[in-house]
Amino acid sequence: MLMDGHTHTEFCPHGSREPVEKMIQRAIGLGMKKYCITEHAPLPPDFKQSYEGSSSGIDEASMEMSDMPAYMKQMKSLQEKYKSDIEISIGFEVDYLQGFEDFTKRFLDEYGPQTQESILSVHFMKGTDGKFWCIDNGFEDFEQGFKDFLDTPQHVFREYYFSVQKSVKADLGKYRPIRIGHMSLVRKYQDHFHLTEDLNDENMSLAQNILFDVKAQHRQLDLNLAGLYKPYCNDFYPGKQILKQAESIGIPIVYGSDAHDIESVGHGIHLINTITNY
């Protein structure tokens, strides 16, 4: 089924603010049968005390709790309006933040019954001074936040995949997200920092263990093509090593454009058959 499993809306502070209705109309025009709306879920109110880095990395990361009534109302209205044209799935892209699992679970317990499917992602991990740093808010923040690791790229990868592993193992309750988002986002600036292409044996073993958990939990993997169009990434997430392993053990792979604007809906979807037949 032709679908887009990872998209955003005008509620995203770091997006284009273009109307999601126009994005849905583009998906219909591209012949899609399903469209998943997965806006960035609100972060815990006290997370700011544990964060370091540019203010935009946290202030523009996600919706606020005050946005939730309007978000849910609008998405449900569009779901009903276009139900004869396309299946619209409402959900969130939920951040995994170690130590804040209780907040995330409470949020999902409250809003999960109103949603169909969500994504679980790692955008923040601990680095310099023991603080959380955003891994995709500019290479300057990445360098400052993970300067102790950058001399050994495999160390950066290992810290990231430890966080992903914790996210998959976390008890987030009945409404835990079904799909693991862009499982190589740590590579967003790989060309700038000359990060090695392949995971070493230790990190690949760690990634495989994560995938075994994903499989055992009957979850899915986000095949996110946004990285192909990022100037310092030029590759899809989760990359060919992890994708090949995920396919070999039968994990469902779901295409996602990660669109934050109208033009990006369906971005790269013509490459899916090529990518999944590496």
Q: What is residue 197's predicted lDDT score, i.e. its pLDDT?
A: 75
Q: What is the mean pLDDT of residues 129-144?
A: 97
The domain containing residue 91 runs over which residues? 3-275
238 close to 272: Cβ distance less than 8 angstroms: no
pLDDT beyond 90 at 277: no
Q: What is residue 278's predicted lDDT score, i.e. its pLDDT?
A: 53
The 10s digit of each residue's pLDDT in 215-237 is 999 999 999 999 999 999 999 99
The 10s digit of each residue's pLDDT in 14-56 is 999 999 999 999 999 999 999 999 999 999 999 999 999 999 9
- What residues contact residue 207 under an 8 Å CB cut-off, 6+ apart? 161, 183, 199, 241, 242, 245
Q: What is the mean pLDDT of residues 183-208?
A: 95
- Tally: H helices and E strands in the chain: 10, 9
In 3D space, the residue among 203, 53, 189 whose CA is nearest the CA of residue 128 turns out to be: 53
Written as one letter, the residue type at 73 is K
Assign 74 a pLDDT band (cuts: 50, 70, 90): very high
The 10s digit of each residue's pLDDT in 89-134 is 999 999 999 999 999 999 999 999 999 999 999 999 999 999 999 9
The 10s digit of each residue's pLDDT in 233-250 is 999 999 999 999 999 999
Q: What is the mean pLDDT of residues 184-193?
A: 96
Q: What is residue 246's predicted lDDT score, i.e. its pLDDT?
A: 98
SS3 145: helix
Total count of domains within the chain: 1
CA distances in angstroms from 239 to 119, 159, 201, listed in the order given = 18, 17, 16
Q: What is residue 196's predicted lDDT score, i.e. its pLDDT?
A: 75
* Residue 46: CATH number of its domain: 3.20.20.140
Tell me, rounded to whole angstroms, the distance of Cα 205 from its chain centroid: 22
Model's pTM, two decimal places? 0.97
Q: What is residue 55's predicted lDDT score, i.e. its pLDDT?
A: 96
